[in-house]
Amino acid sequence: MKDIAYIVQLEIAGDTAMWTRPDTGDSPVSYPAPTYSAVKAIFESVLWGPAIEIIPLKAEICAPVQYHNYYTNYGGPLRKTESIKKGNCYQLCATVLIDVCYRLYAEVVPYKIKGRLPQAAKNWDNATTSPGHAYQEIFARRLKRGQCFSVPCLGWREFTPSYFGEFRDGTHVMSDMETAVIPSMLRQVFSNGYQSEVAYLYDTDVEITAGVLTYGKGEKPC
């Protein structure tokens, strides 16, 4: 029972989204669909626990892919040292997505490296017949009530959703969307799970077919 995977799903929509391509530097450009780690984070924003692992399966694109230039005064750590000391910002231009909507799917499995878990999580794991099923049930209740562990976002923290919750009847996958291939797509930064070291992981030749992006197993960490 402990090794069985359980499916969770949700719908999320918003005015603006940014799934940053790491190769686009200080003028960031969004991927056309959410990355593996972004989908994982969205599910974890509703319910998170170290005793289970969320494995994103696919993202269904339910609105046309539209790009837009977005300008903001950037005051983060990527500024020059002198600018940070003086408290100066600079204007950052990003290419974002607008009017987005996705249906996201993931499976939940027990976290396998028990030695990394805090004691409370170990106790819960030992006392629970099926952690994945327990998570699925709690997740469904919280999603229906609109509860979340942290406010979900569409990539960047300032891009909050206009809707997140159960699937809506009026939402449909963009099945007539042209097939697109993403040569290299960032998968995860902490690819070895809870409390792991930084290890970049990429998916290659990621294909969006009939409006659906299916997440692969990823290349080896680098």
Specify if 159 maps to a domain.
Answer: yes
Specify if 1 maps to a domain.
Answer: no
219 pLDDT more than 60: no
Specify if 14 maps to a domain.
Answer: yes
Alpha-carbon distance of 151 to 181, in angstroms, equals 31
Cβ(111)–Cβ(52) under 8 Å?
yes
Cβ(12)–Cβ(104) under 8 Å?
yes
Mean pLDDT of 211-221: 76
Q: Report the Cα–Cα distance between both ends of the chain, in Å, rounded.
A: 34
Alpha-carbon distance of 164 to 171, in angstroms, equals 12
The CA dihedral of 20, 24, 26, 28, to the nearest 10 degrees, is: -40
Alpha-carbon distance of 79 to 39, in angstroms, equals 28
176 pLDDT more than 80: yes
- Which backbone phi and psi does 169 adopt, to 5 degrees? -60, -30
- Give residue-wise pLDDT tens across range 5-62: 889 999 999 999 999 999 998 889 999 999 999 999 999 999 877 777 889 999 999 9
- Give residue-wise pLDDT tens across range 117-163: 566 656 656 666 677 788 889 899 999 999 998 899 999 999 999 99
Alpha-carbon distance of 36 to 130, in angstroms, equals 25
For residue 22, what pLDDT is reported?
A: 92
The two structure tokens encoding residue 21: 């391509």
For residue 221, what pLDDT is reported?
A: 47
Specify if 222 maps to a domain.
Answer: no
Specify if 97 maps to a domain.
Answer: yes
Specify if 220 maps to a domain.
Answer: no
Q: Distances from the Cα of 210 to the Cαs of 36, 61, 177, 207, in angstroms? A: 19, 9, 6, 10
> Which helix (H) or strand (E) segment is 161 a member of?
none
For residue 222, what pLDDT is reported?
A: 42
Alpha-carbon distance of 219 to 222, in angstroms, equals 9
Cβ(96)–Cβ(68) under 8 Å?
yes
- Give residue-wise pLDDT tens across range 47-104: 877 777 889 999 999 999 999 999 987 777 767 777 778 788 777 889 999 999 999 9
pTM, whole model, 2 decimals?
0.86
Question: Domain residues for 101?
Answer: 6-214
Specify if 221 maps to a domain.
Answer: no
The two structure tokens encoding residue 77: 């750590």
For residue 191, what pLDDT is reported?
A: 66
Specify if 204 maps to a domain.
Answer: yes
CATH of the domain at 24: 3.30.70.2660
Tell me how many domains the chain contains: 1
Alpha-carbon distance of 47 to 77, in angstroms, equals 29
For residue 115, what pLDDT is reported?
A: 59
Interaxial angle between packed helices 36-46 and 131-145, expressed in degrees from 0 to 180 and rounded to the nearest 10: 80
For residue 48, what pLDDT is reported?
A: 76
